[in-house]
Amino acid sequence: MRGICKVCDGCNADHNAGYVCQITKCSCPKRGPYLTGGTLDRILEAYEEFGPMEREVLDMFAMRLLAGQRAYGLLREDKKDWAKESLEECLDNSVYQCAEMIRQMKKR
């Protein structure tokens, strides 16, 4: 099956390598087998069992990942210092949580 890969922007590579992404239906060798071994099946199976709030949480993660990918490209191990990035994000999150708690306490 041939398809246009959103990652490689239709690189016109030989798209008959045997791997086909179950989401994009693309078999681009540059994309790689991200959803192999039943990963997509497990995600869909879990989604079916999730309640409304669990689905909302999953949707938020998915949309956040997609926004990040569109803005910065695919996650790659060699692109960032993940420990430093994580620490900075945790610190930012702590500030936001404290600010919101203070705001809520002042409303009482």
**Three-class secondary structure of residue 70 per DSSP:** helix
Residue spans of the domains in the chain: they are 1-36, 38-75, 80-108
- Contact of 19 with 36, CB cutoff 8 Å: yes
Residue 13: CB atoms within 10 A of its CB come to 14
Task: Give pTM, 2 decimals.
Answer: 0.53
Q: Which residue has the higher pLDDT, 49 or 5?
A: 49
Distance CA 98, CA 106 (A): 12
Q: Which residue has the higher pLDDT, 28 or 83?
A: 83
Give 62-81 pLDDT, tens digit per residue: 899 999 889 988 887 777 88
- Contact of 30 with 13, CB cutoff 8 Å: yes
